[in-house]
Amino acid sequence: MSDRSMRALRKHALAAATVTALSCVAVSAYAADRINLSALANASQQDEFIVKYRDGSAARSNEATLQSSLSAASTGFSGKGRALGLKHVRRTSIGADVVRAARKLDRAEAESLMRQIAADPNVEFVEPNARMTAFFTPDDTRFAEQWGYTASGINATQAWDVSTGTGVVVAVIDTGITSHSDLNANIIGGYDFISDATAARDGNGRDSNPADQGDWFVGSDCGVTYNSNSSWHGTHVAGTIAAVTNNAKGVSGTAYNAKVVPVRVLGRCGGTLADIADAITWASGGTVSGIPANPNPAEVINMSLGGSGLCGSTYQTAIDGAVSRGVTVVVAAGNNNGNASNARPANCTGVITVGAVDSNGARSVWSSTQKSNYGAVVDVAAPGSNILSTLNAGTTTPGAESYASYGGTSMATPHVAGVVALLQAKATTPKTPAEIETILKNTARAFPATPDQPIGVGIVNAKAALDSLSGTPNPGTQTYTNGTDYSIPDNNTTGVSSTITVSGRTGNAPSNASVSVNIIHPYKGDLKVDLIAPDGSVYNIHNRTGSSADNVTGTFTINLSSEALNGAWKLRAVDAAAVDVGRIDTWSITF
């Protein structure tokens, strides 16, 4: 038999084996889905369940048998000292039955009862008869242009059915504020901390009027080679946080029932570190000599500003003071396509540093030189490309109110500050800044594809973050995939790695995690293939076996119970011999 024929037979056998393996996986997954625990977040209100008996079973065709099965489950449950009646209510159009307990069950009781019901092998599935609600969609006329609130962004549309930020104050340390009918109702207090009257353009130094007088400049005045019109940056940022919503005009805000305290620190040629530090202290409820106390201390501070250099003692001391007062400080990573470790206050300790993504979930790019900063100090990402919000039409001094789309990590940051406001409004007791950061990271949505540079653990997910306050469990089994091709260097000891970043999960991976691999290579005997866990642990998948057979493909079950779910998982392929070359075509991990 020719080599070509032998290779064809090998491929046919491999395909048959793969089909068999996938069939087994499908049966296992189906069995796991018999009990749907995902709707138990509000189980204290749960007394009804949907039970589907298999076609042809006695319980499916005979109500007396059905009730007997329910009684057996109820008896098993009451054997734990918590007596409970379980009665048949009605049959649904899909052939499943609604059953009701004699009393409302908490989450643990509901799960225990569902397991008792599912102990009957004739039960096809059981799940809570969960209550659904309409997802709030604002009637703001330009809401459809705000992609950042959709599932492609921070998933705010679902979050608004849980929290709208009522009672929370967010301080926006920025250029101040301009009058805008789609924003004014949510603006309270504020202060102008620009100590230089020339920079402030208001004829004096610090005062109680946070109105934005315009940050336009002539380049020669500010040591640069270009001129700039006024940005009305603070008005844009404030609108993303708390624009008046559902008022049949304009745009929506992330936490539209929160209040914004505008704190003006940026004017002509920017702002000084000393002024900004005092603004942080004042906004968070601290004392600034010669300045009246802030009557509306913030729970969240948004800082869509920054510069280069180390954090420094001035920034860090002011931030430490705010954090000690329980205030979460959210800052922009910067837009220079560089490592945010070189940008401040992004590199300060105790802040939540935000990178930017576009509507495809990729790192934001605004020009050849302007891209979202990246690096280990970036905590999470949020929408930062083509963000529509409130603005002003004035070129230099304030003019008519308007709307415009901006891009930058400055635009990503208020999305996150708004989500923090949603969380604090929902929490039964205020969350510490450290707790808020943990929630945001643990519930972030995985990037659709691994970013070209690290910009945090994932994209902030407002609904998932709010659900975590109610103890909503991790989502069920999920599959993460990297389909980017990676060429495997020939006759090389280092090889190449393809990375999948997992976020928004808690706890460890299971003992039966599934790794599917498709590596194209004409001589698999050259290859060593490993799975590398986030902590660096190595799990071998293939080690130079198979001789002249081609390709490493298949699904492999690996015990990963000692590994945390979240983090960067890598598939590494090393070609230890010469002549033949190949690539990692695609791979996925399921847990």
Distance (Å, rounded) from C-alpha 398 to C-alpha 268?
Answer: 14
Distance (Å, rounded) from C-alpha 160 to C-alpha 361?
Answer: 22
The yes-or-no answer on residue 174 being catalytic is yes
The yes-or-no answer on residue 410 being catalytic is yes
Does an H or E element contain 200, and which?
helix 197-200
Distance (Å, rounded) from C-alpha 242 to C-alpha 226?
Answer: 33
Distance (Å, rounded) from C-alpha 234 to C-alpha 170?
Answer: 13
Distance (Å, rounded) from C-alpha 443 to C-alpha 439?
Answer: 6
Parallel, antiparallel, or unpaired: how do β-strands 169-174 and 259-264 relate?
parallel
Do the Cβ atoms of 160 and 179 come closer than 8 Å? no
The yes-or-no answer on residue 182 being catalytic is no
Structure tokens belonging to residue 238 = 């404030």
Handedness of CA 318, 323, 326, 328 (dihedral sign): positive
Q: List, as one string, the DSSP characters of 376-406.
A: TT--EEEE-SSEEEEEE--SSS--SEEEEEE
- CA 521 to the chain's CA centroid: 36
Residue that is written with structure tokens 């609108």 in the block: 239
Return the closest-CA partner of residue 159 out of 387, 384, 416, 359.
Answer: 416
| Separation in Å, CA 258 to CA 125, 229, 240, 508 | 42, 30, 11, 36
Query: What torsion, rounded to 10 degrees, do the Cα atoms 303, 304, 307, 310 define?
Result: 40
Distance (Å, rounded) from C-alpha 198 to C-alpha 454?
Answer: 40
Parallel, antiparallel, or unpaired: how do β-strands 300-303 and 538-543 relate?
unpaired
Catalytic residue among 140, 174, 202, 379: 174
Distance (Å, rounded) from C-alpha 200 to C-alpha 193?
Answer: 9
Catalytic residue among 74, 202, 212, 233: 233
- Would you call 177 helix, strand, or coil by DSSP? strand
Distance (Å, rounded) from C-alpha 173 to C-alpha 398?
Answer: 19
Structure tokens belonging to residue 233 = 């940056």
Distance (Å, rounded) from C-alpha 551 to C-alpha 352?
Answer: 44
Return the closest-CA partner of residue 478 out of 590, 369, 382, 579.
Answer: 590
Catalytic residue among 74, 410, 498, 516: 410
Do the Cβ atoms of 183 and 239 come closer than 8 Å? yes
- Alpha helical stretches, state H, 284-426: 312-324, 409-426
Please state the three-class secondary structure of 11-80 as a single string. HHHHHHHHHHHHHHHHHHHHHHCCECCCCHHHHHHEEEEEEEECCCCHHHHCHHHHHHHHHHHHHHHHCC
Return the closest-CA partner of residue 356 out of 385, 336, 379.
Answer: 385
Q: Which backbone phi and psi does 299 adopt, to 5 degrees?
A: -95, -20
Structure tokens belonging to residue 375 = 């690096």
Catalytic residues: 174, 233, 410
